[in-house]
Amino acid sequence: MTQTRLIKNASQVVTMAGHSERPAKREAMHELNIIENGSVLVQDGKVKAVGTLSELEQQYKEDVLVAEVLDVTGKTVTPGLIDPHTHLVHAGTRENEYAMRLKGKSYMDIMNAGGGIHATTKATRGADFDQLYEESKQRLDTFFQYGVTTIEAKSGYGLSLEHELKQLEVAGKLNEDHAMDVVSTFMGAHAVPVDERDNPEPFVKRVIDEMIPEVARRKIAKFNDVFCERGVFTPEQSRRILEAGKAHGLVPKIHADEIESYGGAELAAEVGAISADHLLKASDEGILKMAANDVMGVLLPGTAFFLMAEFADARKMIDSGVPVALSTDANPGSSPTLSLQFIMNLGCLKMGMTPEEVLTAATINAAHAIDCADRIGSLEAGKQADIAIFDVPNHLMLSYNYGMNHVESVMKKGELVVG
């Protein structure tokens, strides 16, 4: 039996229709393609049609007659939000470092003293599969509550083949077991292990010669990411790591120009990365190179907020032709939040984006950033029925009443997972 559902009478259905083709275009970021008094017909886990109720009743009479109805009068319906950059799988928290930073210690000082990523690496190495699975599963449940229906998840708190594989296996198992779609990224080059910091080259070689080939052989990641930052991996090391991933079929991503301007945006363009993420300190030249090479800018304003740093210049990027996506960067050190809605608020209030742009950035552009725009990110016939229903009468209210969770219910592949 085919399961048919009708979400009817939304005050707005934000479809994001027409943005699915690659490459994403920054000009289209303000075109939400809203249907006022809209309805969505869902069948077999996919969107069958979107329109006004009378249009759907006329064109799909038989389906509408048998459909299970969800009346969403007065609410706003959007594609399920997509978070294209998270460090989902990790053990523990770092509120002690937060307290230190509030007293003036910097993120990099803490990391260089063996805390930061190293602290979470220690905790994650010490955690077994089940503990990591359980902690991460709870985070996925929370992501659902906040309207997110697909996330990307990075490894990078193992820093050895064994523990990187453990993280990726947890993400892969959750992708199978949990209704959330989890897209995996290998990030063995997240930090140089503490005891090798004076001589990083052997670690870089292990990433290239051992980890990347094994991750690729097991087909447990789609992307390969590197933290290109002074004191972590140089642009030259990052380039070798990303090229090695490419040779094994892993698509490059990069943590670029987060703390310092370091050539990360330029490198992203040169290696053909699908996205460059962070970009707080990206150079003008790097931004132009990204635009010329269709590199998505994944901006993480929660990180700037939490590190008390300057925000990325989203306005400049969009105006220079770089399409932008938004993400939580959910992680225990630089952005311990699971609320992509709050990130959207920050996009408007701190990065000069419009409410239309932030919604595009958290849906179809986020889908582009993880190469899934052919099946998610918009409400169009044939796409996965991943749908967020917000208890607000229009999309502007999402960023107007800030810091709140407006989710009323969430549908994943046609099934209600929240509400």
Can you read off the two tokens belonging to residue 136? 């991460």
Q: Cis check for the bond before 23: say yes or no (omega within 30 of 0).
A: yes
Partner touching 11 among ligand NIG, Fe ion, none, CB below 5 to 8 Å by kind: none
Can you read off the two tokens belonging to residue 52? 């006004």
**Nearest approach, Cβ of residue 98 and ligand NIG (Å):** 11
The gap between the terminal CA atoms of the chain, to the nearest Å, is 24
The single-letter code of the amino acid at 82 is I
Query: Are 363 and 51 in contact, with CB atoms under 8 Å apart?
Result: no
**Nearest approach, Cβ of residue 331 and Fe ion (Å):** 6
Degrees (nearest 5) of the Cα angle 293, 299, 305? 155
Q: Which is nearer to Fe ion, 254 or 387 (CB)?
A: 254
Partner touching 227 among ligand NIG, Fe ion, none, CB below 5 to 8 Å by kind: ligand NIG
**Nearest approach, Cβ of residue 58 and ligand NIG (Å):** 49
Backbone angles phi, psi at 41, to 5 degrees: -100, 130
Question: 164 vs 204, 217, 356, CA distance in Å?
Answer: 14, 14, 38
**Would you give the distance in Å from CA 198 to the centre of its chain?**
33
**Nearest approach, Cβ of residue 404 and ligand NIG (Å):** 25
Stretch 326-355: interaction string toward ligand NIG, x if CB under 6 A = ---x-xxxx---------------------
Neighbours of 93 (CB within 10 A): 15
Q: Decide: is 329 part of the binding site for Fe ion (CB under 5 A).
A: yes
Partner touching 303 among Fe ion, ligand NIG, none, CB below 5 to 8 Å by kind: ligand NIG
Q: Which of 163, 255, 395, 413 binds ligand NIG (CB under 6 A)?
A: 255
Cα–Cα distance for residue pair 317/338, rounded to 1 Å: 25
Q: Which is nearer to Fe ion, 174 or 232 (CB)?
A: 232
Q: Which of 79, 80, 84, 116 binds ligand NIG (CB under 6 A)?
A: 116
Q: Decide: is 297 part of the binding site for ligand NIG (CB under 6 A).
A: no
Q: Decide: is 169 part of the binding site for Fe ion (CB under 5 A).
A: no
**Nearest approach, Cβ of residue 318 and Fe ion (Å):** 21
Q: Which is nearer to ligand NIG, 41 or 191 (CB)?
A: 191
Length of the chain counted residue by residue: 419
Binding-site residues for 4-imidazolone-5-propanoate, in ranges, read 94, 157, 190, 258, 334
Sequence-ordered alpha helix ranges (H) in 127-283: 129-145, 161-177, 201-206, 212-218, 235-247, 264-271
Binding-site residues for N-formimidoyl-L-glutamate, in ranges, read 157, 331, 333
Query: Are 189 and 225 in contact, with CB atoms under 8 Å apart?
Result: yes
**Nearest approach, Cβ of residue 63 and ligand NIG (Å):** 44
**Would you give the distance in Å from CA 381 to the centre of its chain?**
24
Q: Decide: is 227 part of the binding site for ligand NIG (CB under 6 A).
A: yes
3-state secondary structure of 53: helix
**Nearest approach, Cβ of residue 333 and ligand NIG (Å):** 2
Partner touching 4 among ligand NIG, Fe ion, none, CB below 5 to 8 Å by kind: none
**Sign, Cα dihedral of 87, 89, 95, 96:** negative
Cα–Cα distance for residue pair 192/211, rounded to 1 Å: 14
**Beta-strand runs (E) in 243-323:** 251-256, 275-278, 296-299
Q: Decide: is 97 part of the binding site for Fe ion (CB under 5 A).
A: no
Q: For ligand NIG, which stretch binds (CB under 6 A), given 69-77, 115-123, 161-169, 354-362?
A: 115-123
Binding-site residues for Fe(3+), in ranges, read 85, 87, 255, 329
**Nearest approach, Cβ of residue 348 and ligand NIG (Å):** 21
**Sign, Cα dihedral of 356, 391, 336, 86:** negative
Partner touching 116 among ligand NIG, Fe ion, none, CB below 5 to 8 Å by kind: ligand NIG
State the number of CA atoms in the 13 A half-sphere of 405 facing the CB: 15
Binding-site residues for Zn(2+), in ranges, read 85, 87, 255, 329
* Residues of this chain that bind Fe ion (CB under 5 A): 329
* Residues of this chain that bind ligand NIG (CB under 6 A): 87, 116-117, 120, 227, 255, 258, 303, 329, 331-334
